[in-house]
Amino acid sequence: MSHERGRTHEAAAEANAADLASRIVEVLTARGESVAVAESLTGGLVAGELTSVPGASVVVRGGIVAYATELKTELLGVPAALLARRGPVDPDVAAAMAAGVRARLGATYGISTTGVAGPGPADGKPAGTVFIAVDGRSEPVVRGLQIAGDRQQVRFETVRAALALLAAVLREDAT
C-alpha cells in the first residue's frame, strides 16, 4: 500500500513539475530571458523537465551535472575552501552553484540542486537533506529542505521544489 502511495506521490510530483516547467518556459519566453541549471543529486532531472517543454530551446541555455564534489569547483566555480569547510550539501554551496552556472552559461537565471538522495547519509547529512537555489536579477534565494521518502521520491520532490522556487522568483521579479 505505501509503495503504491509512493508511486502516486511521484506521479503527482512529476505532473506538478511538468506544469511548473511549462509556466517557467512561457514566462521566460515572454520576457526574453533564459535559465541555466546546475545539478548534483538530481543528475539532470531539472534540465530534463525544463527541456521536455516545447519551445524550451528558446530559454534553456544548458545545464551542468556536477555530481562529483571537485566538479562543483572546476565547472561551476564553487570555492574549494567552502567545499572543504562545509561539504557539498550546504546552502552557500547551492547559492554558489546557481551563480556559477548562470555566469558560465550566460543566463538570466541560474538554478541549482545539491543534497543527499539516500538511501543512507552522506557527507555527515541524513538522506533527504537538500538545498536548492536560484540566482537571478536580485539577491540569490536559497531553500533548505528535509524530504521524506526513498531515493526517487527525494529526487522527484527536489525537482518540483526547485522549479517552484524558480517560478516564485520569476513572479517576484515581475513586480
Predicted TM-score (pTM) of this structure:
0.91
Which pLDDT value is given to residue 78?
A: 98
Give 10-residue mean pLDDT values along the chain (175 residues). Answer: 37 70 97 98 98 98 97 98 97 98 98 96 94 95 97 97 96 87
Q: Which residues of 10-30 are buried (b: 16+ CB within 10 A; e: fewer)?
A: beebeebbbebbbbbbebbee
- pLDDT for res 109: 98
User: Using an 8 Å Cβ cutoff, are 150 and 118 in contact?
Assistant: yes
Question: Which pLDDT value is given to residue 15?
Answer: 52
Q: Nearest Cα to 100, choosing from 83, 117, 119, 122?
A: 83
Domain 2-174 has CATH 3.90.950.20: yes
| pLDDT at position 52 | 97
